[in-house]
A and B are shown apart, each in its own frame.
Chain A
Amino acid sequence: MKFLKTHEWIDVNGKKAKVGVSDYAQEQLGDIVFVNLPEIGTEVVIGKAYTDIESVKAVSEVFAGCSGKVVAVNEELLDAPEKINEAPYDSWIAEIEFTKLQDDLMDEAEYKSYVESQQ
């Protein structure tokens, strides 16, 4: 599992990757009330938000960390957005068949020190 500076995770498996938001992100967002799942087939581009999630505080954009196409979405989140709060690393938002990964992805240790440097 790798991480983005914008507090998302990406879990690569062959040519596909599952993406979600980090524990720090869900903590900052507070209670999540709606996940706007992207449509299957949506083109995802590095550096551009592919969807957004809504918490009691605000609506926030979500980045994927790769370019490619959405091939699956986690529909469970439609009825239970709180799963992201409860288990952020099990709660993937979309699965992407990627053509390119972002270059500056961080591993867990790097991300941890990045988060600490932000506080």
Chain B
Amino acid sequence: MQLIFEKSVVNGRRALTLPEMNIAEYKLPEYREEIDLPEVAEIDVVRHYTGLSKLAHGVDDGFYPLGSCTMKYNPKLNEAVAAFEGFTAIHPTQPKETVRGWTDALNMLSDYLCEITGMDAITLQPAAGAHGEFTGMQLIKAYHKYNKDFGRKQILVPDSAHGTNPASANMCGFEIVTVPSNSEGGVDIEALKTLVCEKTAGLMLTNPNTVGLFDRNITEICEIVHKAGGLMYYDGANLNAVMGICRPGDMGFDVVHLNLHKTFSAPHGGGGPGCGPVGCKKALCKFLPLGVYGSKLPKDTASKSIGKVKSFGGNFLVALRSAVYIVTLGADGLLDASELAVLNANYLLALLKDKYPVAYDRICMHEFVLTAENIKHETGVSALDISKALLDFGIHPPTMYFPLIVHEALMFEPTETESKETLEYAADAMLKIYDKLYTNPQELHDAPISTAIGRVDEVQAARHPVLKYNK
């Protein structure tokens, strides 16, 4: 497919015509004459982007079991409400009494998210999950500083954690200490005991963790960290497994971030806008960013604020979609969603595990991790090859090579919104691929063959990226 730049063949062709100016032309001092923007007609722009959209694969196109990302269906009702004029045609500096719907929605969502997570207050400002992690880490930093506990400079992070965890803590000036996993994929308790000390600021944990297992020792883990004077941070990436079943606040966590695009069905919009709310327990509420919503906020909320992390209420229309999702499902519906997410993952796992080895052979939560390590050893076919082959079945690949503690990892998260038939179709595709491992591995190395672009040269792309169009 041609680039939009390559479709620009006639100088001066425009997608729209502006009326003649009735003021004198003003030349920008920094204006670059040679800037080479594409010049095409409106129909060319429309066809270009419609064409691109046909080459993409989203949740609306087919199965998307990308582990740890919770690619659930985004109900169109969310979109309909987010398009209401009362929400789109307002401005955050309008007098408060003229935007009651806006503040009501933010208060309602904040209350619900506090109830779901067991937190006392929540900020909706962070623009995405990693931004939420950064905000949460700032809260922990502010807490220790407020208590004049200046030596707490270390954040403990399990070796199975999302890469954003150590990155966020590091950006806040913390030193990272890695906690090894035990044979069940959970936190190694004995190792944790030796790692906590007077320098411990906190532990960042995902539960269920990134291998899709609930850490059975969670209360003991929290106790160890709290006794050492540290705080517990909950990475909400996997909350979809436990809504209405258990709450991070009750497990012992002090700070929580959520990914509304995962658990609460806001779109995964190619880099944004997003919303990564951060909730905390009472002792930390005073440090929250200014502009906290909710009907039952502790009195000192944001009184010692770390400052704003985003303008106004954050990305309101994203938050609104999640508010619609929550009221549509209700408390029973959210519980159903989590239970079905776990059931779906276990069903798919049961269909696959006789052929593909499981990294940790236990009843899983909402996702599970297979390992193609032996397959690669025996046949030369890698996790990457298997993933690429799935594309030819119209299925988006699972997450590959993550978590890092599992070699040749394939991490599937079907979510609750997929039917039994879809799961069976995916399992059947995986079994067909399995048969080819031993009969025709070359076909798998060559996959995909049905997509617009076949196997891309990832090495060349990473070593010599072409980031600029040159004629």
Contacts and interface: CB of A to CB of B under 8 A. Distances in A.
B458 A56 contact: yes
B462 A34 contact: yes
B62 to A, nearest CB: 25
Contacts of B402: 58
Nearest to B459: A31
A6 B407 CA distance: 14
B462 A60 contact: no
B377 interface: yes
Contacts of B163: 59
Interface in A70-119: 81-82, 119
Contacts of A81: 463
B36 to A, nearest CB: 29
A33 B401 contact: no
Contacts, number: 24
Given A31-B458, A119-B377, A58 B404 contact: yes
A13 interface: no
A112 B462 CA distance: 31
A58 B408 CA distance: 11
Interface in B447-471: 458-459, 462-463
Interface string B380-419: 0000000000000000000011101001000000000000
A33 B407 CA distance: 19
A58 B401 contact: yes
Contacts of A119: 377
Interface string A36-68: 000000000000000000101111100000000
B359 to A, nearest CB: 15
A82 B404 contact: no
Nearest to A61: B178
Interface in A25-39: 28, 31, 33-34
A13 to B, nearest CB: 30
A86 B323 CA distance: 54
B467 to A, nearest CB: 15
Given A28-B407, A56-B458, A82 B463 contact: yes
B131 to A, nearest CB: 20
Interface of B: 163, 377, 400-402, 404, 407, 458-459, 462-463
Given A58-B401, A82-B459, A82-B463, 15 more contacts: A28-B407, A31-B459, A31-B462, A33-B459, A33-B463, A34-B463, A54-B462, A56-B458, A56-B459, A56-B462, A57-B400, A57-B401, A58-B404, A59-B163, A81-B463
Closest 8 A-B residue pairs measured CB to CB? A33-B462, A57-B401, A31-B459, A56-B458, A33-B463, A58-B401, A58-B404, A56-B459
